[in-house]
Every structure is written in C-alpha cells, then in structure tokens.
Structure 1
Amino acid sequence: MTILYLHGLESKLSPQKQSVLERFGTVIAADLDYYNNPNVFDLLLELNKEHKFDVAIGSSMGGFMSYYFANTIKCPALLFNPALPHRPVPQNIPDLNSSNSSSLLHFALGGQDDVIKANDNLKWISENRQTTTDIKISIHNQMGHQILLDVFEKEVTEFFRQLEL
C-alpha cells in the first residue's frame, strides 16, 4: 500500500503520526509550498506517476488537495479538517464531474475547530457530494484544528479497516 500524506499550510507530518501510517504501508509525505506554488496539484499528479498512490490522506489544506487528488485518480481518501469550504490560498485544481469520484471519502472533523468549522465542512460536503462515493464522517467534539494523536490513530485505523471490507 502506497500512502500519499499531504500536510496543512504551515505544518509537516510528525514522526509519531508517520509511524502510525507506516503500519499500513509506505508513506510519501511531500514537502509542499502552497503559498508560492499554485500548481501543487500538477506536482501531485507527477508524483503519482512515480509512486502509484493507493490512498490519499491530508489535513487542512492537505485535506483540500487530497480531496481533489483522490477524486481525480479515483482512490480512497482520509481528510482531517479539510479546507474545502474556505480555500486559504489560490491553487489550480481540476473541475470534478460525475466521472471523477473516489470510492470512499472519510472525513474527520474537529467539533472545536475554529479555523475550519465542522458545520461549514458538513454544509460543503452536502452541497458537493458525489452520488457514487461512499462517505464516512466522524466529528470529534473535543478536537480543534490540530489533530490529536489518539484521534489520528483511531481514524487512520478505521479508514484502513474500511478498505479491507
């Protein structure tokens, strides 16, 4: 299993979270500059030619990019507090249609997130849902925008369990 992990605007994948992901496969965690490169999506497509990603996992802006990437290459994705309702920096992304859809989108939202509110994501998801995609949504009432390690581990484990079904 080859896992693409996409970090948020001003974050990186921590060693603890990387070790959680490595239980399930090989992790590619690109260092992305969302601010200065509006073509991150094209870079991801090039990376996919080399690695052939099986799943995409992302947080915040990385969740935003993972959403579009997963739907374009049609792979499952785990999205932590994705920046879908509020695009913080300009990025060139493809228009999606019914032929572009992931088989599974698993959203993990923080009930205390004051950067990207869970309700804003829920509204966005309901308005942009692809009918061919299975959606799972978890809301962690105690979590803000930062992903707690225990929540990360729980959601990653559940995500990969769903892929085995």
Structure 2
Amino acid sequence: EAASYIVGYRSKHPEIVQGWRACDRSLQSVYDGSEIPIDPWGMCITNAHGIRLPSGRIVRYPKLRVECIRGRNQWVYGEGRFKTGIYGGKIDENIVQALARDVLKDHKFEFFKRTGLRSALDVHDELVYVVPEKEAPPMLDALLGVMRTPPTWWPELAVWAEGSSGLTYGAAK
C-alpha cells in the first residue's frame, strides 16, 4: 500500500522528483570539483567544497565518495561513525533547511541592528524575545516587519511571518 502512495505522490509532483534527480546528479559535480548550477535559476552551484547557496553559505559534504553498500554503489561522505549516506532527496532537504536558517539568521541580525534586542531562544523557524509586557505589541510589529522582508541575497523570495506574544513561551504559541 505504501508503494502506491509513493508512486501517486511522484506522479502528482514531477517537479519535485526532477529536483531530487538534479540534486542527486550534483554529487558527481561536487566530487569532480565542477561549478555547475543545480537549479534552473543558477542559485545553488556545486563546487569542490559542496553546494554554494544564494546566501553564500556552502553546504559541505566532506570526503564525498562512492561505496558499494549491500551490492549497490552509493554516495557517502564523512568517515567512521560520522559516515553518512547521501542522495538527491536528502540534498534537497539540506538545501531547504540551510536556506531557511540563513533567512532566519539574517532577520534576527537585522532586528538586532534596529532594536539592540537579542533573541532569548531560537526553535526551528521561531525566534523568541523577552521584553516588558507593554513593549510586546510594538516589538512584535517591528519583528514581523523585518521577517516579512526578503533577504538582500534573494530579493524575489516570498517570505511571510506570523507572531504572537504571551507571558510564557507556551502562552505565546
């Protein structure tokens, strides 16, 4: 039954499957040290160190190589207990998570430059700040204004943010 869901998903979303395949092919380019764009827009580019993102960050795959595992050639990186298998879908996930982190980091830094406030906690895609209760509404508005602005390194990126405030972290959720 699971196989039918997989086939259905892949047939319904061929662009995602194409993206996974492009990411999978990118491993050979990283291994060769070639500078080749992964995506149609040329935003993520392979090089000898890994994959350069539009933010400038490089997602690295140290000691990338092919190994025969259970009779199949597979890409792996790292060594010893840190050896990890890698494939297109995982690369795609790494790129998306790295980009999300870069956007959040830029927003966090911009908010600090404007207000002098440092986040008390970062949880995945959340920033948590501690401010006096009376200052919470205007600070939240200011934070959302920053977080709804695309990063300078990807001005076409559609971004959105929602927020809330509360006397405790749980109450703010």
**TM-score normalized with structure 1 length:** 0.25
Tell me which of the two structures has the higher relative contact order, counting C-alpha pairs closer than 8 angstroms and 6 or more residues apart: 1
Please say which structure displays the higher CA radius of gyration: 2
Greater per-residue helix proportion: 2
Q: TM-score, normalised by structure 2?
A: 0.25
